[in-house]
Amino acid sequence: MYEDLEGKVALVTGGSFGIGRTTILEYAKNKAKVAIADINEAGAEAVADEVRAMGGEALVIKADVSKSAEVKAMVASIVEHYGRLDIAFNNAGIDLDHTYLADADENMFDTLMAVNVKGVWLCLKYEIEQMMKQGGGVIVNTASIAGVVSSPKMGIYGATKHAVVGLTKTAAVEYGRKGIRVNSVSAGPIKTLASAGIGDFKKILDEVSSNAPLRRNVTIEDVGNTGAFLCSDLAAGITGENIYVDSGYNIVSMGVVE
């Protein structure tokens, strides 16, 4: 338990399933008040019901993180409801069917960039504005080892996650003296609803479990636990870091060559 999270207000975007849902439940377990933002309002409400069943407080906000007005309104709604914003886990992101760079089209590129990069930047923008007003806060962005380890057919998605790490480090430098810590989490492949429809995902999972030092795939619980730790006082000295949660895969892999 992270006792210092009790009573804190924590936002999670992309909170209707997978890493987002698990992180929300981890915050709620530690008695934080949560705000669940997702374009899938029904899914977010279901997670909110889980939080309330635990005796916690939950606010649901329908928001498309690629739209400035909706992100601004999201943060304003949280402040109106809870009075402040202490923690933000910018998890909302998408992946599309993997393809070689020359076979991808502009729509794929634009869609991935709009959600995974612009969406994280917009969240940072409005979260930081609020946190500076109140004297500080903690932000965690969801990146990926795809932003570090090269794999065929993942060039555009990987580029978006490189960008998330870059935004994280810059935000940490620019706002550390304002009392704001910013880190990112790069998870290895996780079998969630988001990944289930990707045709070559089993191959990727097998690659990781066969070659990672721990010989296991990571779970959404691994990532949720890391997110809670990074937002606690135990991580008070950590900012600008990209934390790998990948069973050590990134330190041994030089990329998959076909």
Considering 2, 27, 82, 157, which one is annotated as catalytic?
157
Helix or strand (DSSP H, E) at 222: helix 220-230
Q: Which two tokens stand for residue 8?
A: 């804190």
**Cβ atoms 38, 16 nearer than 8 A:** yes
Identify whether the C-beta of residue 159 lies closer than 8 Å to the C-beta of residue 202. Answer: no
Let me know if 157 is a catalytic residue.
Answer: yes
- Residues whose CB falls within 8 Å of the CB of residue 15, separated by 6 or more in sequence, listed in order: 21, 23, 24, 36, 37, 38, 44, 47, 91
The secondary structure of residue 118, as a DSSP letter, is: I
* Integer Cα distance of 120 and 174 in angstroms: 16
Angle at Cα 199 formed by Cα 41 and Cα 64, nearest 5°? 25
Catalytic residue numbers? 157
